[in-house]
Structure 1
Amino acid sequence: MSGQRPVWFSHRFLSAMGAPGPRTLWTLCVCFTALRTNALRVTMRESAVEVVRGDFVILPCSFFTSSPLSRLNIIWTLAPFSSPESPIQVIVYDHGQIIEDPSLIGRVGFTGIPWSADIMVNDTRVSDAGIYRCMVNNPPETADPGIGELLLTVLVAPSLPACQWDGNMDAGGSVTLSCSVAEGVPTPEMRWDKLNPEEISLPINMEGELSGSVQIVNVSSQTSGLYRCSTSNVLGTENCYVNLSVYSAVAGSSSGILQGVLLTLSMSLMLLALLVLVTWLHRTGQDGPWRVSKEEEEEEEGYNVIRYTPSLMKRSFV
């Protein structure tokens, strides 16, 4: 009997209240639901937000409360992509006072306090990207603060890529074209193309997210031309170029050309030496032994002339 007493007491109590038991229970449930509905709620109007580096962005955070805002407390935190395990406190509103993180002073602020928990971040940087949490507490609404979360992505255009080549440019060798870019969000898409005589897309081997290469084996004269590396994302495209020149000769022609050049050079040297010799002989003939020989010949001719004197021409007669 004692186990039935609480049921009897409940019916007597409900009857004393002047209402049937089931109807009163439904009324109590509705009131309890209303109380829960009037409790503090936080709503993030966006789950993800994007901004171009250097621009400003508004991070939305709405809340509903039925209590006065004299004890309102709002805290924004950031878990950066670079170190998600070490969140930082971005900005705080506590009993009418605003406290900013020292690294964000002048770049972050509330836009509609105390009626809204929205904040604005200007001059955005890559380090601002990450997961933001908005925590609102308004005693005596509830002991547990309402929490909202959103993802901020800071977009960055691709930087100017760096192109270079390495390898053997002789016919039959191998050449590697490489391209790398310093930054870009989202990660830039990379491609290599040969531009002339006609544009041809080349298969690329990605070496990480920001660099890629193309290997060309058994190069020939057809390999020569202008090559372009392109990096692109939603913010634009950047290019760099490499100009390759491969010289390939027909079999046997190179040796023939070389022999012809050597023969021509040898003949030229021989003609030059002969010309020098003739010039030297000519000069020495005018000023040297030839002149002496001529004088000696004149002297010899003088010895052969018969000289007559007047005394010898006289005759004696008997």
Structure 2
Amino acid sequence: MELSAARWCVTLLSLFAGLTSGLQITSSSASTPTEVASGQSVKLDCQFTLASEDSGPLDIEWSLVASDNQKDDQVIILYSGDRAYENYDTPVKGRVHFNSPDPKNGDASVNILTVKPTDTGTYQCKVKKAPGVRNKKMQLVVLEKPSKPRCYIEGSSHEGKDVVLRCTSDAGSKPMTYSWEKTTGSKVLPASSVLDPVSGTVSVKNASASASGTYRCTTTNRVGAEQCVLDLSVTPIPNTAGIVAGSIIAVLLILLIIAIILFCFCRARNRKKYEKEICNEIREDVPPPKSRASTARSFTVASQRSSLGSMSPSNLHEYALKPQYDKIPSSEEYDRPPSQAPMPPPSAAKMAGYNLSRMGGIPVMVPAQTRDGSIV
């Protein structure tokens, strides 16, 4: 029994020695993930050694381990039969290559170019040369450096007020920290300021003129840093009462100007409307045209002249004494009311006829004329 137990121990030791002396991956397994900034290149190290008993064909396989156990791993690159195969349909297609032109010499490392955040994952290097098989896993974390931060002021920048300086990066891998420094004057943050490195704010309580100056904010994470600059000017509190009064006066003046413009517009519109109505109105008290009256007067005068020509001196005396009922009144007499029409003196015709008869003259009747020269 003791002899058989010793034989079993020798056999196990020989097998263990054979295994340890065969194919080995000499690269140390990293206990922490490999972190790299987005856009850079990374080398995944996988060095190996072969033993004399490893006589089979050499195969080197790199794969992306699936995060879900229900899914298969994705092969990203393969070396078999002294040839590299790189055209696998994976997220790193065209960006992964062997570090050595001849991996069978013991360098199975690969380089991934221009890494992206989506390249984050667990990668496995498997080296096979029968009867030896070894593999190594490593975790890659692709981090994005902070984007250029934006610096701005929150709140009022007047004396005696609380001023908040804020710094924010829109992109970048967490965690990110923020730091502030003053680059002008005393180059020291105000004594009343409070810095929050997580939110990226500096709160200046009861700001004074000494807080004015240039400030710089730096955003940092594990793969990079970015900066922005801000100018702070703390000014005295303005005269708000004067500003309010001036604003009210300006508003009233604007309203007054608008009222004057509307008044002038309405007045011009009403005047135009009134003139249009006056032009279209038919007046009832307009006298008839004078051309007809002139024609009638001319006809009457012509008839009287013809009658006078055929009268004798004795008839003329009687004609002068007769009232002239067929005489056409002038325009002034026509327009004058009957109560205001002047009566001819009763003795004028008698005296004229008596004097003419006594002196042996022949009375001649002179036709009357209006102001415009028409014969009545």
Q: How far apart are 1:44 and its partner, in Å?
A: 2.9
In terms of fraction of residues, the more strand-rich structure is: 1
Report the equivalent of 2:42.
57
Instruction: Return the letter of the residue paired with 1:132.
Output: Y
CA contact (8 A) 2:158 2:237 kept: no
Residue among 42, 67, 72 paired with 2:54: 67
Residue among 94, 97, 101 paired with 1:106: 94
Residue among 6, 11, 18 paired with 1:35: 18
Report the equivalent of 2:363.
none
1:145-224 correspondence to structure 2 within 5 Å: 146-154=134-142, 157-184=145-172, 187-201=175-189, 203-207=194-198, 211-224=199-212
* Rounded Cα–Cα distance in structure 2 between residues aligned with 1:76 and 1:248: 66
Q: How far apart are 1:38 and its partner, in Å?
A: 4.0
Q: How far apart are 1:124 and its partner, in Å?
A: 2.7
Report the equivalent of 1:226.
214
Report the equivalent of 2:275.
none
* Rounded Cα–Cα distance in structure 1 between residues aligned with 2:205 and 2:71: 48
* Rounded Cα–Cα distance in structure 2 between residues aligned with 1:235 and 1:26: 53
User: Once the two structures are superposed, what CA deviation does each residue of 1:24-65 show, in whole Å capped at 9, x if it has no partner?
Assistant: 555434322223224544343462545554443321113345
* TM-score for both structures, normalised by structure 1: 0.56
Change beyond 3 A, Cα 1:196–1:140: closer
Change beyond 3 A, Cα 1:192–1:88: farther
* Rounded Cα–Cα distance in structure 2 between residues aligned with 1:240 and 1:85: 47
* Secondary structure in structure 2 of the residue aligned to 1:103: coil
Change beyond 3 A, Cα 1:196–1:102: same
Change beyond 3 A, Cα 1:101–1:28: same
Structure number with greater CO (CA < 8 Å, separation at least 6) is 1
* Rounded Cα–Cα distance in structure 1 between residues aligned with 2:230 and 2:60: 59
Q: How far apart are 1:123 and its partner, in Å?
A: 2.2
Change beyond 3 A, Cα 1:223–1:114: same
* Rounded Cα–Cα distance in structure 2 between residues aligned with 1:95 and 1:154: 29
User: Once the two structures are superposed, what CA deviation does each residue of 1:188-229 show, in whole Å capped at 9, x if it has no partner?
Assistant: 54211233321124542244xxx4112223233333332221
* Secondary structure in structure 1 of the residue aligned to 2:91: helix
Instruction: Return the letter of the residue paired with 1:131.
Output: T
Q: How far apart are 1:108 and its partner, in Å?
A: 0.3
* Rounded Cα–Cα distance in structure 1 between residues aligned with 2:75 and 2:168: 34
Aligned length: 230
Instruction: Return the letter of the residue paired with 2:45.
Output: P
* TM-score for both structures, normalised by structure 2: 0.49
* Rounded Cα–Cα distance in structure 1 between residues aligned with 2:151 and 2:73: 39
* Rounded Cα–Cα distance in structure 2 between residues aligned with 1:25 and 1:127: 52
* Secondary structure in structure 1 of the residue aligned to 2:200: strand
Instruction: Return the letter of the residue paired with 2:227.
Output: N
User: Once the two structures are superposed, what CA deviation does each residue of 1:88-128 show, in whole Å capped at 9, x if it has no partner?
Assistant: 62524264462534332221022343444211112233333
Report the equivalent of 2:127.
136
CA contact (8 A) 2:177 2:197 kept: no
Instruction: Return the letter of the residue paired with 2:159.
Output: A
Residue among 58, 61, 64 paired with 1:77: 64
Q: How far apart are 1:139 and its partner, in Å?
A: 4.5
**Structure 2 unmatched ranges of 5 or more:** 247-376
Identity of aligned residues (%): 27
- Choose 1 or 2 for highest CA Rg: 2
Instruction: Return the letter of the residue paired with 1:30.
Output: L
* Rounded Cα–Cα distance in structure 1 between residues aligned with 2:47 and 2:176: 35
Report the equivalent of 1:127.
118
CA contact (8 A) 1:137 1:146 kept: yes
1:229-240 correspondence to structure 2 within 5 Å: 229-232=217-220, 237-240=225-228
* Secondary structure in structure 2 of the residue aligned to 1:159: coil
* Secondary structure in structure 2 of the residue aligned to 1:246: coil
Instruction: Return the letter of the residue paired with 2:13.
Output: V
Change beyond 3 A, Cα 1:170–1:52: closer
